[in-house]
């Protein structure tokens, strides 16, 4: 049984039952059975379902946003945006999947040779709580349009959102088994990964958990996509538009109360503009309103769980003990709920805890670099490689992007995920890509077809 605590009040919200092992096996078998029909549907037939799903999501935007407020503390204004973004992912793949997966002619000694892209079967998505709608559709929209069926093992702390997603597919006319909710306790996930009908795994979460998932999948020779943690650098050089950089990086670091893998986390600032930039950040962080996520003016809601707040507090305390200075925040308020205030740390060095570990909350750390070369060195000195941003001239930023060890780089803009563009990290931040034309290729059989006779 999943017992859910409202992170805003700290009080019991609701409970949902977990699947038994037998129920889990039955759902996986249903997914395999549905696959036999779904894979034969045309792209147009699959798109009809995805577009119906998107339409229902738009119609139920407020209800879905409130669910996220209640279960994981997302501010209502951000929740509405997440519903729209998730719907846009369904719409994007409904429109573009056929082109992305079109046959590709390749020259050989055959009369004709080409590759075609065929579905694999049931795909298991293991998802986190921090963007429960968006991350579900980032996983399922391309997989479904490629002809796979989907099993969604969502985080135990968002069971109502997970159930709502599955219900929307039913309401949209998807056949039983095409998209299923798989509410499992964590101890049962290994059995789902290893089930012979599960043909591939998509995982979003911590690097430590991702390594375990990858090992389980590899033992059964199953493809896996991992979107893992990050300690994403934001390089601010002396020729940057400091006001714009401060605006965008404040948003990047504090959206969803800072609970985002691709949020800017290490602000690496050239020393000539360091003090000015810190002043701009401090002003913006101080103006952020923390409170009830259902309030339209709230910018910072609670963290999703008490243990997340406590771990963030530990990271800040250890970083300050190592010599950093705290200019704002730095301590959880003595009020109900899992709140942690916007926090700004300066005099930070790259060997401190807040840089070596992923900080999942509204905590910005500022590091000083003598020049662009040192800034790049600091940025790459991390076991993570998810995303990065650079603030300088566009031409200079493009050159720097090639030198950054990150899966995606934004020059003079916010790092974000977009259905049209591939996303995914390097090093301990992940394996494989999601979204765009690259993401849909992760869970297909790229089959070579050689047609004889040999050309003469």
Give first-to-last CA distance, the chain, whole Å: 67
* 76-100 and 132-145 helices, crossing angle to 10°: 10
CA angle 16, 156, 46 (to 5 degrees): 90
420: left (phi over 0), alpha (psi -120 to 50) or beta: alpha
Burial class (CB in 10 A: 0-12, 13-18, 19+), 171: middle
356 CB neighbour count, 10 Å cutoff: 15
Task: From the candidates 69, 89, 261, 355, give the one annotated as an active-site residue.
Answer: 261
3-state secondary structure of 448: strand
Within 10 angstroms of residue 226's Cβ, the number of other Cβ atoms is: 25
Residue 180 host element (H or E)? strand 179-181
CA 29, 30, 32, 36 dihedral sign is positive
Largest CA distance in the chain: 82
Task: For residues 264 and 257, give the distance between their C-alpha atoms in angstroms, rounded to a whole number.
Answer: 12
Residue 105 tokens, joined: 């002619």
* Residue 150, beta-bridge partner list: 123, 179
Residue tagged active-site, from 227, 358, 434, 442: 227
| DSSP per-residue string spanning 11-49 | SEEEEEPPPPHHHHHHHHHHHHHHHHHHTTS-HHHHHHH
3-state SS, 120-186, equals: CCEEEEECCCCCHHHHHHHHHHHHHHCCCEEEEECCCCCHHHHHHHHHHHHHCCCCCCCEEECCCCH
Rounded to a whole number of angstroms, the CA Rg of the chain reads: 23
Q: How far is CA 233 from the centre of its chain?
A: 17
Handedness of CA 129, 133, 136, 142 (dihedral sign): negative
Contact 404, 388 (CB under 8 A): yes
Collapsed DSSP state (helix, strand, coil) of residue 87: helix
Q: What sign results for the dihedral spanned by CA atoms 235, 238, 239, 245?
A: positive
CA distance 101 to 445: 11
227 is a catalytic site residue? yes
The two structure tokens encoding residue 38: 């779904």
CA distance 254 to 240: 21
Which residue numbers are catalytic? 227, 261
């Amino acid at each position: 049984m999943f017992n859910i605590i409202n992170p805003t009040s700290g009080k019991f919200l609701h409970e949902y039952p977990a699947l038994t092992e037998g129920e889990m096996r039955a759902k996986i078998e249903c997914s395999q059975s549905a696959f036999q029909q779904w894979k034969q549907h045309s792209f147009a037939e699959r798109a009809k379902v995805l577009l119906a799903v998107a339409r229902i999501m738009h119609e139920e935007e407020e209800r879905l946003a409130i669910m996220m407020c209640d279960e994981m503390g997302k501010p209502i204004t951000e929740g509405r945006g997440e519903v729209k973004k998730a719907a846009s992912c369904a719409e994007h793949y409904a429109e573009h999947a056929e082109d992305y997966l079109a046959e590709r002619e390749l020259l050989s000694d055959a009369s004709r040779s080409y590759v075609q892209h065929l579905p694999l079967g049931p795909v298991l998505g293991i998802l986190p709580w921090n963007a429960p709608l968006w991350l579900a559709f980032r996983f399922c929209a391309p997989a479904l349009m490629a002809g796979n069926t989907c099993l969604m093992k969502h985080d135990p702390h968002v069971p109502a959102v997970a159930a709502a997603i599955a219900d929307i597919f039913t309401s949209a006319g998807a056949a039983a088994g095409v998209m299923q909710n798989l509410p499992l306790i964590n101890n049962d996930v290994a059995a789902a990964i290893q089930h012979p009908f599960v043909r591939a795994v998509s995982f979003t979460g911590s690097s430590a958990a991702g390594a375990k998932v990858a090992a389980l999948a590899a033992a059964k020779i199953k493809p896996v996509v991992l979107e893992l943690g990050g300690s994403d650098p934001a390089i601010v050089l002396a020729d940057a538009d400091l006001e714009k950089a401060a605006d965008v990086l404040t948003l990047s670091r504090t959206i969803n109360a800072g609970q985002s893998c691709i949020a800017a986390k290490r602000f690496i600032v050239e020393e000539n503009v360091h003090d000015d930039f810190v002043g701009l950040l401090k002003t913006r962080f101080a103006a952020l309103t923390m409170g009830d996520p259902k309030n339209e003016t709230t910018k910072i809601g609670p963290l999703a769980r008490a243990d997340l707040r406590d771990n963030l507090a530990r990271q800040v305390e250890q970083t300050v003990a190592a010599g950093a200075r705290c200019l704002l925040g730095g301590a959880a308020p003595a009020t109900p709920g899992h709140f942690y205030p916007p926090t700004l740390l300066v005099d930070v060095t790259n060997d401190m805890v807040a840089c070596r570990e992923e900080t999942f909350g509204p905590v910005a750390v500022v590091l000083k670099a003598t020049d662009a070369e040192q800034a790049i060195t600091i940025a790459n000195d991390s076991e993570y490689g998810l995303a990065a941003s650079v603030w300088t001239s566009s031409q200079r930023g493009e050159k720097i992007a090639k030198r950054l060890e990150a899966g995606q780089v934004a020059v003079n803009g916010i790092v974000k995920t977009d259905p049209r563009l591939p996303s995914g990290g390097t090093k301990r931040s992940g394996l494989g890509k999601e979204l765009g034309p690259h993401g849909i290729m992760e869970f297909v059989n790229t089959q070579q077809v050689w047609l004889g006779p040999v050309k003469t």
